[in-house]
Structure formats: structure tokens, C-alpha cells
Structure 1
Amino acid sequence: MFVSDSLIFVELHKTAGSHIGRCLNKILTGEQVGKHNVVPPELQNRFILGSIRNPWDWYVSLWGYGCDRKGSAFSQTTRRYSVNYYWRQLNKEMGKNWLSPAQYLRQLLADTAKPVALWNEVYADSSNPELFRKWLRLMLDADRRFDIGEGYGFSPLSAHSGVLTYRYFKLFTNLGSDLYSLPDLTDSSRLNEVWEQRAITNFVVRNEHLEADLIDALTCANIALTDEQRLFILQGKNEKTNTSSRKSMDFYYDAESIELVKNKEAFIISRYGYEPPAL
């Protein structure tokens, strides 16, 4: 999370957060506070900037990063369990000082039954579309919702929506602990209503239109850009960070996997008008 007096940028995983943060650091006086942090209530009155990406492409990127043995999704799914993670990290990711004994037990039991060998198998080759599709089915299987950790399995969202939608609502709303208990989240048809009531973002940059959207966002935040600063943003188009070794998204999908993402990420697809890969 990049924090300045005039703007806060919330980093949603694998949506060009490092690049956007670098641009903002060049233009504004601020500081990097953690990485994928939730905005604390006392800062939610500032201009909040987020970023998003085509869900079909996002899943390929997340998997490709895992194939390079990187990222929290990879580390959580490919290990059996970690006591240190339960006591030091999971509670923080859910915005709590402690979880209930029942919650700790639920996560422990799920991790005991986690198919670690299968998870490791699907990260074996970033050029293999069959492995991607197998990984995607695991990632979006409601029965495997606790495998990724980070509280996803405890949220009502996990019954009908994917990890991207979960992270979107976690970072871009003021739901806090309500993310794990709000009855409206059990019904996918109510997500637009929840978003309208609880969103904190003033602007969300689309990864596919990053430079133009970022300039528009800064304009909306009443931040005047010099010609040099605009040029710096525009020149960053070909500078990528935290990339993964994988091909374009069209290479990996078939009709079944396209439909799976369409169903699980319907909220984001509808909100931003994203189109599926070409077959």
C-alpha cells in the first residue's frame, strides 16, 4: 500500500501494483506501507486508488508466478500446514488479533486433507495448458477453498466466487470482519448492492489501460501532473515487474475453463466488461 497525504494506492495482487507504486513514488511524496494491506479506517477518507485485471488473464498470471515457485498462493497450497502461519499470519490476514479455536481447528483439518502432491504437480510446467486447467479447477473448487489460506475459505464469498473477487472485496471495501459473516455475501446476486454500500475506492485502474487510467485517476484526485511526469507514466508501458514465465492467456484456456472463470468471477467481469480469451 502506497500512502501519501493526497492519495492511497491499495495493491491487489498481480494487477501491476509494483509498477503503479513506482509511478506514484516518482510523482508524490509518500511511503510504501507493506504490500497488499487493507486500508485502516482512519485513512479511508483519503482518495483511494485500486487496480484490477481481466480475470482470465489474472488466473494465468497467478499460476505462472506459482510455476516460478513464487507467491503466497503457491506457498500456501504446496505445503501441508504451518503452525507459525496459523498463529502469526492468518489472523492478521482476516483483520483479527486471534481466531476462534473452531476457526483454527477448521483450517488445520482442511490443511491435513490438502492434496499437496497434486498442488505441486500442477505447478510443474508453465508451458502446459493441461496443468493450468487442472490447477484452475482446484483453485475454483469450493471444496478446496481452505487450501489457499488467507481467510478465503471462511468468507461466504468462497461458496460462489473466486479468489480474485474475495481479494477485491477484502482490499477495496470497508467490510473488515463483515467479510466473514455478512449474510448478503452468501448470495452472489447481492454483490453489486454490497459493493455500492461498502466500497472505499474512488478509482480503479484497469491493467489493460494502465497508463491512461492512472493519469485519469490522478486528475480525479486533483493531482496536477507536469509534462515530464505524464511522460514517465506513459513510458512505463513496457516496463514490467513481478512477471511470470508463461504464455498469453489464449494459449491456456478451453471452453470449460473459460466458463469456470466466467461463473466464479461474474461480478468483476460484469463490472468492467471483460471479455474471455479467444479459442
Structure 2
Amino acid sequence: MFISDRLVFIELHKTGCTHIRKVLSEVIEGVISGKHNQATPDLFTEGRLFVGSIRNPWDWYVSLWGFGCDGNGGLRQRVAMPSSGIRGLKWRTAPASSLIRVLKRPKNERAWQSVYRNSDDPGAFRDWLHMMHDQAYIGDIGEGYSDCALRHVAGLLTYRYLKLFSTRGGEEERLNDLSTKPQIDEWDAAQTFVEAFIRMESLEADMFRILDDHAFDFTEEHQSRIRSLPKTNASSRQRKLSHYYDPDTVALVAEREQLIINKFSYTPPDL
């Protein structure tokens, strides 16, 4: 999270947030506090602008999976932790947390490992995507989503969006009351406190617009320096979205990420 006197940027996973944070640090004096964490109540002071980032859900899922295929990300670590990992835990220095990790080892780790086999394999991606929305496997995902009622009607992206952009630190249990899509829509309309969104598809243009609209000291020199910054945390996959999706998986994402698709007018990939 990037925090300044006038702006707070909250980081939604795999939406260009590391790059956005770097850009904001170039323009605004502020501090970095954690990553993918919720805003704490003390940050809600008068005049502060809350900014978040978002991404086309169809692209988001391919990116999340591809990042895992490269051996990266907390999701991959949780669901596909290899059995041999028990030897690498910190039994001497942190026995309690090591025991918790063993007890919470996913029930289906071998199945998860098989779908992270190759970031160029559309069959592996489709199997992974179905597992991400199958109640038999969702229990492995963790991070509160596995225990939240909305898992029956919405995907991980919607859960993370609501957790980060509509609840404050320690209040995420309030999401447990959401069990239908109308309830999710109503909650988002009433509780989401992020006022400005940066779409990953138009990342720099959206940032420039937000900074300009809110009268930040933003020069042409800043713009030039920002455009020269390298992107970070990209997965190795090179194919277009149409390589990974078929009509069934396109429809699955459309059903499960309905809130974000409708709110931001995202469209599915052309097959």
C-alpha cells in the first residue's frame, strides 16, 4: 500500500499494482506499508483520495495462473505445496507456524501441481480455472475466501476486490453475510470506498488523469520518467487470451466475476 497525506493506493493482486506503486513514489511524497493489505481505520481522514487498480477478469485469471506456473505467488504456494516441503519449514525457530502449515496442507496438492505444469498449455489452464470455482477444491485456496458464503456465487477476484476496496482492516468477516449476487452488488454500491480506479489496460493514462483531476503537482518530466519505468512481476506466458479460453471457460468467468465485468464494462476475449 502506498500512503501519502492526500492519497492512499490499495493494491489488488495481479493488476499492475507494483508498477503503480513505483509510479506514485516518483510523483508523490509518501511511504509504502505492506502489500495487498487492507486500509486501516486511521487512514480515513478528511481529504484523502483512495485509489485502487483493476483488470479484465479473463486476463486476470490467466495472469494469476501463469505467475503460479513460474513458481510464484502465495496462491500457488498454498494449493500446490509439495509434500517434500515439510523438510524446508522452520521447525526450530518457528515450530507453531510450521505445524499450522503442515496441518493446513491442501487436500488436493497433486491435482493442483498438475495444472501448474506449463504456462503454454491451455488444457492445464482450463482445468485450473474449473478447480478455482469448484467447491470441492475451493477449500484449498484459503485467505478467507474458502470460508466465505460468497464463494458459492462469486470468484476469487470479486472476493479480493471486496475485501480490499470495501472493508477496513479486521472487518473482512462482514463479507460473510453476502451469499447472493444482488447482495454483492448492493454491498459494493454502499461500502466500496475507493473513489478512483486505474485499469491495467490503460494504466499510465488513468494514473495521469487521476493525478491531474485531483491537482497533484504533475509535470511533463514526471510523465516521461514514468513511461520509462520497466514493468514488474509479469508471468512468462506469451500467448493471447484466445489461446487459453474456450466457450465454457469464457462463460465460467462471466458468471463468477459478474460484479467486476458489469461495473467496469469488461468484454470477453474473441475466440
Instruction: With the length of structure 1 as denominator, give the TM-score of the two structures.
Output: 0.85
Name the amino acid aligned to 1:5: D
233, 243, 246: which one aligns with 2:234: 243
Alignment check: 8 A CA contact 2:7 2:50 kept: yes
Alignment check: 8 A CA contact 1:41 1:174 kept: no
Tell me the secondary structure at the aligned position of residue 214 of structure 1. Answer: helix
State the distance in 2 between where 1:266 and 1:72 align. 24
Tell me the secondary structure at the aligned position of residue 154 of structure 2. Answer: coil
Alignment check: 8 A CA contact 2:108 2:137 kept: no
State the distance in 1 between where 2:73 and 2:216 align. 33
Match of 1:20 in 2: 20
Match of 1:160 in 2: 153
Indicate the percent of aligned positions where both proteins have the same amino acid: 40
The Cα shift of 1:148 comes to 1.3
State the distance in 2 between where 1:201 and 1:88 align. 34
- What 5-or-longer segments of structure 1 have no aligned partner? 90-103
State the distance in 2 between where 1:20 and 1:182 align. 27
Alignment check: 8 A CA contact 1:154 1:180 kept: no
Match of 2:62 in 1: 60
Match of 1:9 in 2: 9
Alpha carbon RMSD of aligned pairs, Å? Answer: 2.5
User: How many pairs were matched up?
Assistant: 259
265, 273, 278: which one aligns with 2:270: 278
Are residues 1:180 and 2:173 paired? yes
Alignment check: 8 A CA contact 2:39 2:168 kept: no
State the distance in 2 between where 1:221 and 1:25 align. 16
Stretch moving more, 65-74 or 245-254: 245-254
Match of 1:206 in 2: 199
Q: Map 1:86-165 to 2 at 5 A.
A: 111=104, 114-165=107-158
Are residues 1:70 and 2:72 paired? yes
Q: 1:175 to 1:37 in 2, by over 3 A?
A: closer
The Cα shift of 1:112 comes to 6.0
- What 5-or-longer segments of structure 2 have no aligned partner? none
Are residues 1:215 and 2:208 paired? yes
Q: 1:175 to 1:2 in 2, by over 3 A?
A: closer
State the distance in 1 between where 2:183 and 2:153 align. 12
State the distance in 2 between where 1:230 and 1:36 align. 26
Q: 1:71 to 1:139 in 2, by over 3 A?
A: same
Instruction: With the length of structure 2 as denominator, give the TM-score of the two structures.
Output: 0.88
Match of 1:258 in 2: 250
Alignment check: 8 A CA contact 1:142 1:160 kept: no
CA-to-partner distance for each residue in 1:149-191, whole Å, 9 max, x for gaps?
1111122221110000000001101265554345651111222
CA-to-partner distance for each residue in 1:239-276, whole Å, 9 max, x for gaps?
32101111222210000000110100010000011111
Alignment check: 8 A CA contact 2:150 2:176 kept: no
State the distance in 2 between where 1:126 and 1:207 align. 21
CA-to-partner distance for each residue in 1:73-132, whole Å, 9 max, x for gaps?
1001012799999x769xxxxxxxxxxxxxx9xx95xx5662110100100111100000
Alignment check: 8 A CA contact 2:41 2:169 kept: no
Alignment check: 8 A CA contact 1:249 1:277 kept: yes
Are residues 1:269 and 2:261 paired? yes
State the distance in 1 between where 2:173 and 2:152 align. 12
Q: 1:42 to 1:126 in 2, by over 3 A?
A: same
